[in-house]
Amino acid sequence: MADDEQLSRLVADRAGRDWCLFVDRDGVVNRRVEGDYVRSWSQFAFLPGALEALAVLSRWAPRVVVVTNQQGVAKGLMTASDLDDVHSRLAAQVTASGGRLDAVLACPHAASAGCPCRKPRPGLATAWLAAHPTVDARLSVLVGDQPSDVETARRLAAETGGCTSVAVSLPDARADLHRTSLADLAADVAHLLPPSPLPRRSAP
């Protein structure tokens, strides 16, 4: 099935349903700091169109949750408070731009720790879904730019019965859908959504 047809079906199948869009952070929402980590808000830079994309995707998805590995905390390069500050500011910027983040979930552990919450293990997503039982986990969608994100979606699907993977800037990944960026995905989704209602005029 072609990507465009599959996306159309993806949108149609989720209309009126309670489901979650999981989004990776670095390389999807913001620029990566090559060879390092985003240690503070001053190093955080949104990718072009990412804020506008999250506003559109918030219209599509009843729940939007960021899931991100941040082992810079375990390495002592930043504190948990530093990370929380970045994520608080991230959520505030998304809200100010008309979008919504229902949660920003981070694994602060080292890769060597073998924790269940570090992607490609799906622990961040499964824990959130367990805490929100009204959400249909089988309709989950996960957007990421790394092979580990695609593998996370596969493992989440194995546990829940479904999860669609969307790879951005990763054309060779064995994902269900491919787009060049989050903005690219949002632009295609926008064409498939009903128009936003016009604001109501105040009585004269």
Q: Which of 4, 24, 149, 184 is catalytic?
A: 24
Which H helix or E strand runs over 54? helix 50-60
Contact 108, 70 (CB under 8 A): yes
Distance of alpha carbon 126 from alpha carbon 159, whole angstroms: 8
Q: State how far the Cα of 75 lies from the Cα of 62, in Å rounded to an integer.
A: 35
- Is cis: bond before 120, omega within 30 of 0? yes
Pick the catalytic residue from 3, 13, 26, 149.
Answer: 26
Q: What is the DSSP letter of 85?
A: H
DSSP 3-state percent helix, strand, coil across the chain (nearest 5): 40, 15, 45
102 is catalytic: no
Structure tokens at 190: 């926008």
CB-count exposure of residue 107 (10 Å: 0-12, 13-18, 19+): buried
Whether 24 sits among the annotated catalytic residues: the reply is yes
| Measured distance CA(119)–CA(99) in Å, rounded | 25
Query: Residues with catalytic annotation?
Result: 24, 26
